[in-house]
Each structure stands twice: as C-alpha cells, then as structure tokens.
C-alpha cells in the first residue's frame, strides 16, 4: 500500500470514528453519569465487538478479493464514489439527539455487554467495512496483509478516540450537543475531500 493511500485511509478513519453515533452516545452517557472507569468499561465492550467484526472482515474479504485480479480496480473506484457519498450524507445529516441516551446502572458486567451489543448488533458495520476497505487496496500487493494493517489501524484509532470521549466527557458532551451540526458539516467536507484525493492518487 502506498504511503499516500494509507494516510488518506487514516484520515478517513479518524473522521468516521469521531462522528457521533450509537457507541459514542453510550460512552458519553455512562461516563457522565458514573465516571471515567465505567465509561472505559463501555469502550472495552465496544472494542471487543469491533475486533470480532474486523477479524471476520479481514478473513472474508481476503478470500474474496485475492481472486478478483483487475476487477478490484473497479471496486476501488466504486469506493471513491462511496466515500464522497457518505461525506455528502454526513454533511446533510440531522443531529442524533445524544441528550436522549440514558446511562445504565453502574454494573460493570452489564455495561460491558451493552457496549458489546451496541457495536456488534449493527449490521451496517460489516457492510461498511466491506465497502470501505477495498478502495484502499493495492491489487498487486498482499491482500491479507493490507486488510490486516487497515483493521489494526482502524481498531487503534477507534480505541484512542472512544477513550478520549470518556476522559473528556463533560467538555465533549456539551460540545456535541451544541455543535453537532457543525461537526457533521466539517466531517462531511473532509470525507468528500478524502474521496476526491483518493481519485487523484489513483490517476497517478
């Protein structure tokens, strides 16, 4: 994988992960109500679920994409369009009403399971990974190794950013509730920019 493509992947991952969503909402709610420790338990549950999904994606896509040859190029171009599309959707998205998410009672086992279930029960995650990862692959390289690198990178960024929400929850929640539309607009702009840059890189 070329460095420029990998850095574009890292940028897109960071933007996508930082966007307010179900996992972020649960992390914020539990952290605000019960403190950093319980917030980190929520993050841990979500990370275990994400790790399982990423293993499935890496193994499944490897088996499929290694036999596609030049067809992978068309899949990657479809991915460029997809990245620009989700950027537009993010730009126009309505706020997610994070203030309506309620915290659980501070039972670490139950909170861990809630974080796990919220992450793993969303079928869109597998669809997203399956559509998002291939556009950054180099068909002439080792497909499995590239997918593994992207999965580890995605997981690491998610762990850092979700943990950051827990550590800065009071500031984060107030900012999210007041500025979620601005976050969506800025994030959407960067996603569309990322898709455009990826298209330019592919032309070289």
8 Å CB contact between 154 and 13: yes
Contact 196, 7 (CB under 8 A): no
The pLDDT value given to residue 204: 44
Which residues in the chain land under pLDDT 50? 202-204
- Scanning the chain, the segments in alpha helix (DSSP H) are 3-18, 22-34, 36-65, 71-92, 108-120, 124-132, 143-167, 169-203
Residue 197: per-residue pLDDT: 62
Selection from 150, 157, 159, 160 nearest residue 55 by Cα:
150
Task: Please check whether residue 23 is in contact with residue 46, taking contact to mean a CB–CB distance below 8 angstroms.
Answer: yes
Q: What is the pTM of this model?
A: 0.69
Q: Supply the pLDDT for residue 48.
A: 93
pLDDT value for 90: 62
């Amino acid at each position: 994988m070329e460095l420029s493509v990998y850095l574009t992947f890292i940028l897109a991952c960071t933007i996508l992960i930082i966007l307010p969503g179900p996992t972020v909402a649960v992390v914020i709610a539990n952290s605000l109500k019960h403190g950093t420790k319980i917030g980190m338990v929520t993050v841990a549950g979500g990370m275990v679920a994400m790790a399982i999904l990423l293993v499935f994606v890496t193994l499944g896509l490897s088996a499929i994409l290694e036999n596609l040859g030049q067809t992978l190029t068309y899949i990657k171009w479809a991915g460029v369009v997809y990245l620009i599309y989700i950027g537009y959707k993010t730009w126009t998205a309505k706020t997610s009403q994070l203030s309506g998410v309620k915290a659980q009672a501070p039972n670490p086992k139950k909170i861990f399971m809630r974080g796990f279930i919220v992450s793993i029960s969303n079928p869109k995650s597998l669809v997203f990974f399956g559509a998002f990862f291939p556009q950054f692959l180099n068909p002439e390289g080792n497909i499995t190794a590239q997918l593994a690198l992207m999965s580890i990178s995605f997981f690491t960024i998610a762990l850092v950013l979700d943990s950051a929400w827990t550590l800065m929850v009071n500031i984060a929640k107030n900012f999210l509730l007041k500025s979620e539309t601005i976050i969506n607009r800025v994030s959407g702009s960067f996603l569309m920019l990322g898709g455009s840059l990826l298209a330019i890189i592919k032309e070289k």
